[in-house]
Amino acid sequence: MSEQTLSNLMQENRRFEPPADLAANANVKEEAYARADADREAFWAAAAERLDWGRKWDQVLDWTNPPFAKWFVGGTLNASVNCVDRHVEAGNGDKVAIHWVGEPDDDARDITYAQLKDEVSRAANALTELGVRKGDRVAIYMPMIPEVVVAMLACARLGAPHTVVFGGFSADALASRITDCEAHVVITADGGYRRGAASALKPAVDEAVAKTGDLVRSVLVVRRTGQDVDWDDSRDVWWHDAVDSASAEHEPEMHDSEHPLYVMYTSGTTGKPKGILHTTGGYLTGTSYTHWSVFDLKDDDVYWCTADVGWVTGHSYMAYGPLANGATQVMYEGTPEKGRWWKIVQDYKVSIFYTAPTAIRTFMKQGREIPDGYDMSSLRLLGSVGEPINPEAYVWYREVIGGDRCPVVDTWWQTETGQIMISPLPGVTAGKPGSAMKALPGIAADVVDDDAKSVGNGNGGYLVLKEPWPAMLRTLWGDDQRFKDTYWSRWPGLYFAGDGAKLDEDGDIWLLGRVDDVMNVSGHRLSTTEIESALVSHPKVAEAAVVGAADETTGQAVCAFVILRDSAGDGGEDIVEELRRHVAKEIGAIAKPRQIMVVPELPKTRSGKIMRRLLKDVAEHREVGDVTTLADSTVMDLIKGKEGSASSED
């Protein structure tokens, strides 16, 4: 969102007050803020009581060795028992856990909590049979099918941390994640359905496994599409052979509250993705509490989070949060083709809907006639996540999708925070289009300047978190030092999120996007450095610089500037396409630059640092800013002269 739009909106100060009927029903009332402020640990302890524990904790929080937090110290629990077994034991075995909708028409399945319990137990037994033991890591590379949830919960049941890799990532990206967390087992599928066709997954797994030496012992494969796959008898096992025949009885072990639950790789400011480690008790407390409070979850709600399970939103608000709360939810395999989402809302009477601004902006472009053709009167609450929501998209979402009656919760959080941190509470907090409003009860956020001083109302600065929270990352997998350096070194005692933010005159928080080298494309997090490394690994490229340029639909888009090696000449006619394909191969199609410009030079300071700010000006078709600190100020003329040549924008 530009500063201009933001200030216009803030001046307009448009506010949606919480609906009175919702206020009367809200799971969490206004007093929660004061209660949490008065005793933060008691507040989170009460939230943890919502779960079933094998053994109660002795201490809520151990923060004696910051930034290494321990929550619910001495407590034991099992995440899969909390997500499944306890609902069956409470008599809700027949309640639908997942209304699964496949992409091909009439391909749908309802899975009750009792069925889920049997499946998870079977899968846990099958994984044990394959040699998976407590503490072993398991990589999961799957489409949006129920088996992915079963696989995650089966791992959690055994205490084997999973690492789910988004199915859109390349074989190389999968291989580097398998290697980093030393996974001996990979769970995958032959493929999945997307955009009307079957796509393949198993070949990427074969390629990735081949790159990891003899690390991977077994590959468990779900047959989803029936397409032909290469098969290695010594390693590959069909899910239907191993899981379907396994016993549905599985005695779960209670794991320590701090036992690792999963590792999720995410982009940082360097080339190497970071393995964010989440543990069990605090994570489940934070996700289940926020899912219940922010979405004001009721027993008869039908909840739908459209995120892919390969991202953290799919972990916290598709898998663990809703299932720990015993919710009924929709899971959809495909992409948001015109009208399909709204038909699902209509058919399943979805009441709570959670998606990303990019999707909303895409629907806005397609026109309101499409959603207007469906009955969406079942909706009562809308959520947004992943990137700043521009006020226009917020208002459209509220009016067109929410029929002007559903409050919108704009939820700010990160892979690292594990749980929603900043968001209105429906029925309690007013909403302002474009603002995530305020930190949830039990969360201490602030906006500070370079000296870590609070900027105060009406000013902008850096978003920080001042107190530990239950679902916070515990470290980066195998790299405590990088964990400290990345998040805790800028200001002592403060977690630096990497986001810029502004406090308005009422003290409400407006997120302004990343202030580091992380880009946000369609709510997906990408690192400029990682894409630069991918480009430079191409034999024709000498140097590369990548910036995130503003994009109307995707929020930001990847724009690359490359210098070719002398030996490459002009690179050939298809150089731009060749490089885009190369990035897709190295990282995944989501990282493909929208635009690549082949340039003779890059703008650098005298100390050799690339001035991305100037490249961003070019990518956003703006007048180039101050060039006085450049070693050679004529460079920008050379680059501007190249605009339009050897570039692709599709």
Could you tell me which stretch among 148-156, 294-302, 404-412, 619-627 binds ligand PRX (CB under 6 A)?
Answer: 404-412
Of 497, 545, 583, 614, the residue at the interface with ligand PRX (CB under 6 A) is 497
Please give the structure tokens belonging to residue 590. Answer: 């989501």
Of 76, 121, 313, 435, the residue at the interface with ligand PRX (CB under 6 A) is 313
| Residue among 531, 410, 398 at smallest CA distance from 1 | 410
| Residue 305 CB, nearest approach to ligand PRX (Å) | 11
Residue 412's H or E segment, with its range, is none
Asked whether residue 252 is marked as a ligand-binding residue, the answer is: no
266 is a site residue for ligand PRX (CB under 6 A): yes
Gap between the terminal Cα atoms of the chain: 22
415 is a site residue for ligand PRX (CB under 6 A): yes
511 is a site residue for ligand PRX (CB under 6 A): yes
| Residue among 596, 587, 592 at smallest CA distance from 615 | 596
Could you tell me which stretch among 93-101, 409-417, 468-476, 574-582 binds ligand PRX (CB under 6 A)?
Answer: 409-417
Residue 100's H or E segment, with its range, is strand 96-101
Q: How far is CA 8 from CA 195, 221, 376, 391, in A?
A: 39, 53, 31, 10
Asked whether residue 538 is marked as a ligand-binding residue, the answer is: yes
| Residue 445 CB, nearest approach to ligand PRX (Å) | 12
Q: How far is CA 293 from CA 17, 84, 499, in A?
A: 18, 20, 24
314 is a site residue for ligand PRX (CB under 6 A): no
| Residue 410 CB, nearest approach to ligand PRX (Å) | 5
- Shorter beta-carbon distance to ligand PRX: residue 266 or 429: 266
Of 93, 146, 383, 386, the residue at the interface with ligand PRX (CB under 6 A) is 386
In angstroms, the CA 624 to CA 602 distance is 14
116 is a site residue for ligand PRX (CB under 6 A): no
Of 334, 371, 441, 498, the residue at the interface with ligand PRX (CB under 6 A) is 498
Could you tell me which stretch among 92-100, 239-247, 406-414, 539-547 binds ligand PRX (CB under 6 A)?
Answer: 406-414
- Collapsing DSSP to helix, strand or coil, 543 comes out as strand
Whether the Cβ atoms of residue 110 and residue 98 lie closer than 8 Å to each other: yes
- Report the amino acid identity of residue 203: P
Could you tell me which stretch among 16-24, 57-65, 229-237, 382-390 binds ligand PRX (CB under 6 A)?
Answer: 382-390
- Shorter beta-carbon distance to ligand PRX: residue 113 or 166: 166
Please give the structure tokens belonging to residue 200. Answer: 């393949």
Asked whether residue 412 is marked as a ligand-binding residue, the answer is: yes
- Shorter beta-carbon distance to ligand PRX: residue 442 or 498: 498
Could you tell me which stretch among 384-392, 452-460, 593-601, 603-611 binds ligand PRX (CB under 6 A)?
Answer: 384-392
Asked whether residue 541 is marked as a ligand-binding residue, the answer is: yes
In angstroms, the CA 554 to CA 361 distance is 8
| Residue 373 CB, nearest approach to ligand PRX (Å) | 29
Residue 634's H or E segment, with its range, is none
Whether the Cβ atoms of residue 611 and residue 635 lie closer than 8 Å to each other: no
- Collapsing DSSP to helix, strand or coil, 406 comes out as coil
Asked whether residue 207 is marked as a ligand-binding residue, the answer is: no
| Residue 643 CB, nearest approach to ligand PRX (Å) | 29
Please give the structure tokens belonging to residue 547. Answer: 């910036």
Whether the Cβ atoms of residue 143 and residue 166 lie closer than 8 Å to each other: no
Burial of residue 10 (CB within 10 Å: 0-12, 13-18, 19+) is buried
Whether the Cβ atoms of residue 117 and residue 135 lie closer than 8 Å to each other: no
Asked whether residue 490 is marked as a ligand-binding residue, the answer is: no
**β-pairing verdict for 541-551 and 460-465:** unpaired
508 is a site residue for ligand PRX (CB under 6 A): no
499 is a site residue for ligand PRX (CB under 6 A): yes
Of 44, 239, 295, 412, the residue at the interface with ligand PRX (CB under 6 A) is 412
- Report the amino acid identity of residue 28: V
DSSP 199-252: EE-HHHHHHHHHHTTT---EEEEE-SS-------TTTEEEHHHHTTTS-S---P
In angstroms, the CA 497 to CA 500 distance is 9
- Shorter beta-carbon distance to ligand PRX: residue 80 or 176: 176
Could you tell me which stretch among 52-60, 87-95, 210-218, 493-501 binds ligand PRX (CB under 6 A)?
Answer: 493-501
Asked whether residue 227 is marked as a ligand-binding residue, the answer is: no
| Residue 520 CB, nearest approach to ligand PRX (Å) | 5
| Residue 153 CB, nearest approach to ligand PRX (Å) | 21
Asked whether residue 194 is marked as a ligand-binding residue, the answer is: yes
| Residue 142 CB, nearest approach to ligand PRX (Å) | 19
- Shorter beta-carbon distance to ligand PRX: residue 499 or 586: 499
522 is a site residue for ligand PRX (CB under 6 A): no
Please give the structure tokens belonging to residue 626. Answer: 């101050």
520 is a site residue for ligand PRX (CB under 6 A): yes
CA 12 to chain centre: 32
Query: CB neighbours (10 Å) of residue 570?
Result: 11
Q: Site mask, ligand PRX, residues 283-312, x = CB under 6 A?
A: -----------------------------x
385 is a site residue for ligand PRX (CB under 6 A): yes
| Residue among 124, 130, 127 at smallest CA distance from 157 | 124
In angstroms, the CA 152 to CA 11 distance is 46
Asked whether residue 435 is marked as a ligand-binding residue, the answer is: no
Size of the site for ligand PRX (CB under 6 A): 21
Could you tell me which stretch among 155-163, 227-235, 319-327, 383-391 binds ligand PRX (CB under 6 A)?
Answer: 383-391
Asked whether residue 388 is marked as a ligand-binding residue, the answer is: yes
| Residue among 584, 570, 575, 482 at smallest CA distance from 531 | 584
Residue 140's H or E segment, with its range, is strand 138-141
126 is a site residue for ligand PRX (CB under 6 A): no
In angstroms, the CA 429 to CA 17 distance is 7
Q: Site mask, ligand PRX, residues 430-449, x = CB under 6 A?
A: ------x-------------
Report CA dihedral (220, 225, 226, 229) to the nearest 10 degrees: -60
DSSP state of 568: G
CB proximity list for 110: less than 8 A, separation 6 or greater: 96, 98, 99, 100
| Residue 29 CB, nearest approach to ligand PRX (Å) | 23
In angstroms, the CA 237 to CA 218 distance is 7
- Shorter beta-carbon distance to ligand PRX: residue 99 or 315: 315
| Total residues found in the chain within this entry | 650
Could you tell me which stretch among 113-121, 225-233, 280-288, 410-418 binds ligand PRX (CB under 6 A)?
Answer: 410-418
Detail the residues annotated as belonging to a binding site: 194-197, 313, 386-388, 410-415, 499, 514, 522, 525, 536, 538, 541
Detail the residues annotated as belonging to a binding site for CoA: 194-197, 313, 522
Residues of this chain that bind ligand PRX (CB under 6 A): 266, 312-313, 385-388, 410-415, 436, 497-499, 511, 514, 520, 525
Detail the residues annotated as belonging to a binding site for Mg(2+): 536, 538, 541
